[in-house]
Amino acid sequence: MSKKSLNAKIVTPKNKILIHLKDRKIKRIYQSFKQSLRPFLKKNKFAVGVSGGVDSLSLAFFLKCLSLDRKIKVFYYHVDHGLRENSDKQAEQLFNILNKVGIKIEILKWTGSKPNSNIQKIARDNRYGLIFKKMSKNNVKNLLVAHHKNDSIENFLIRLIRGSGLEGLSSFHSKHIIYKDKNIFRPLLSFNKKDLEYVTKSVFKSFIEDRSNYEKKYQRSRIRGILSKLETEGFNLSKMNLTIKNLSLSNFSIDYIVKKNLEINSHINLRKNFAIFNENFLKQPDEIIFRSISLILNQINHRYYPSRGKKIVRLINEIKKPNFKKTTLAKCFIEKFGNTYKITQENVKKKGK
Tens-digit pLDDT profile for residues 22-81: 999 999 999 999 998 888 887 779 999 999 999 999 999 999 999 998 888 999 999 998
Do 78 and 197 fall within a single domain? yes
Q: Identify the CA nearest to 164 among candidates 249, 280, 291.
A: 291
The residue that leads in pLDDT, 119 or 79, is 79
Q: Is the pLDDT of residue 100 over 70?
A: yes
**Per-residue confidence (pLDDT) for residue 94, from 0 to 100:** 95
Q: Mind spelling out the 3-state secondary structure of 246-259?
A: HHHHHHHHHHHHHH
Residue 83 contacts residue 52 (beta carbons within 8 Å):
no
> Bigger pLDDT: 259 or 177?
259
For residue 168, is it within any domain? no
pLDDT at residue 214, rounded to an integer? 61
Residue 353 is predicted with a pLDDT of 43
Contact 333, 347 (CB under 8 A): no
Residue 166 included in any domain: no
Could you list the residue range(s) of the whole structural domain that residue 311 is in? 244-345
* Domain match, 266 and 316 both: yes
Sign of the CA dihedral with 134 first, then 183, 245, and 126 last: positive
Contact at 8 Å (CB) between 68 and 30? Answer: no
Residue 213: per-residue pLDDT: 63
Same domain, 203 and 329: no
**Please, what is the average pLDDT of the chain?**
85
Lowest mean pLDDT among 81-85, 150-154, 230-234: 230-234
Residue that is last in its domain, among 235, 265, 294: 235
Confidence band of 142 (pLDDT split at 50, 70, 90): very high
Please give the pLDDT value at position 222. Answer: 85
Say whether both 9 and 135 belong to one domain: yes
* Contacts by residues 195-198 (CB-CB < 8 Å, ≥ 24 positions apart): 195/25, 195/29, 195/148, 196/29, 196/54, 196/55, 196/58, 196/59, 196/146, 196/148, 197/54, 198/25, 198/26
**Do both 126 and 32 map to the same domain?**
yes
Asked if pLDDT for residue 12 goes beyond 70, the answer is no
In this structure, are 18 and 83 located in the same domain? yes
Q: Is residue 163 part of a domain?
A: no
Nearest to 280 by CA among 264, 258, 291: 264
Band of residue 143 on the pLDDT scale cut at 50, 70, 90: very high
Higher per-residue confidence, 233 vs 123:
123
- The mean per-residue pLDDT over the stretch 323-332 comes to 92
- How far is Cα 174 from Cα 165, in angstroms, rounded to an integer? 16
pLDDT over threshold 80, residue 297: yes
- Domain-located, residue 125: yes
Cα 265 to Cα 24, 34, 247, distances in angstroms: 53, 40, 27
Same domain? 97 vs 31: yes
Say what the pLDDT of residue 246 is. Answer: 85
- 340 in any annotated domain: yes
* pLDDT higher than threshold 80 for residue 103: yes
Q: What is the CATH number of the domain that holds 27?
A: 3.40.50.620
At a CB cut-off of 8 Å and minimum separation 6, what does 119 contact? 83
- Looking at the fold, whether 227 and 272 belong to one and the same domain comes out as no
Look at residue 352 and tell me if it is in a domain.
no
* CA-closest candidate to residue 335, choices 285, 275, 290, 268: 275
Which residue has better confidence, 337 or 155?
337
pLDDT of residue 305: 64
**Alpha-carbon dihedral 241, 246, 247, 249, rounded to 10 degrees:** 130
- Domain final residue pick, 199, 215, 235: 235
pLDDT of residue 351: 44
Give the DSSP per-residue string, 172-218: GG-SEEEETTEEEE-TTTTS-HHHHHHHHHHHTS-----GGGG-TTS
261 CB burial (10 A radius; 0-12, 13-18, 19+)? buried
- Report the C-alpha gap between 218 and 220 in whole angstroms: 6
Residue 98 and residue 21 in one domain: yes
Structural domains of the chain, count: 2
pLDDT digits (tens, 9 = 90+) for 211-270: 666 667 777 778 877 877 777 777 777 778 788 888 888 888 898 999 999 999 999 998
Average of per-residue pLDDT across 275-302: 92
- β-sheet with 266-269: strand ranges across: 266-269, 274-278, 340-345, 332-337, 326-329
Q: What is the DSSP letter of 19?
A: G
* Residue 146, pLDDT above cutoff 90: yes
Q: Based on the fold, state whether residues 190 and 107 are members of the same structural domain.
A: yes
As a whole-number percent, the residues of the chain with pLDDT over 90 amount to 47
Q: Which pLDDT does position 127 carry in this prediction?
A: 92
Asked if 326 and 231 sit in the same domain, the reply is no
